[in-house]
Amino acid sequence: MSIKTVLIIDDNEVDRFLHEAIIHRAYPNIEVLQAFDGLHALEVLENTKPDVIFLDINMPNMNGIEFLKAYYAQKGNDMATIYMLTSLYQDCDRVEVANYDAVKECLEKPLSPDMLAKIM
């Protein structure tokens, strides 16, 4: 998979910064976009189609599952590859996310260089 653009959706500014730094350290040519919640992400996605989305599950305003529902309604099958991120692995509702083909895996935060290497 050739990845040119990544979108990080997370309400935690430190996590967004850390994940972007990990991505840029390993893959400096990848463009990294950020959104602070699901609603903001939908706005970002109006103007771009990332190859990969790292999606936090627990966020205010619009959480990860709510975002998935809205994103699928907008894009149908023309979606980025999605990796759910959570600080508590058990928070990832595998039954719920299994309904979305674009979701490849639930990962525990923080994103590590090893995790990133497996994805890329």
Query: Which residues touch 115 (CB under 8 Å, ≥6 apart)?
Result: 107
Cis peptide before 113 (omega within 30 of 0): no
Closest Cα partner for 64 from 10, 15, 5, 2? Answer: 10
pLDDT at 95 (0 to 100): 62
Q: pLDDT, tens digit, for every residue of 31-81?
A: 999 999 999 999 999 989 999 999 998 899 898 989 999 999 987 777 899
Q: What is the rounded distance in angstroms from the CA atom of residue 44 to the CA atom of residue 95?
A: 27
pTM of the model: 0.91
Q: What is the mean pLDDT of the chain?
A: 88
Residue 35, domain CATH: 3.40.50.2300
Number of structural domains the chain divides into: 1
Query: Which residues touch 114 (CB under 8 Å, ≥6 apart)?
Result: none
Report residue 85: phi and psi, to 5°: -120, 140
Q: Dihedral through CA 44, CA 48, CA 54, CA 58, nearest 10? A: 20
Q: Which residue has the higher pLDDT, 22 or 92?
A: 22
Closest Cα partner for 67 from 103, 111, 106? Answer: 103
Burial class (CB in 10 A: 0-12, 13-18, 19+), 27: middle
Q: Which domain holds residue 75?
A: 5-119
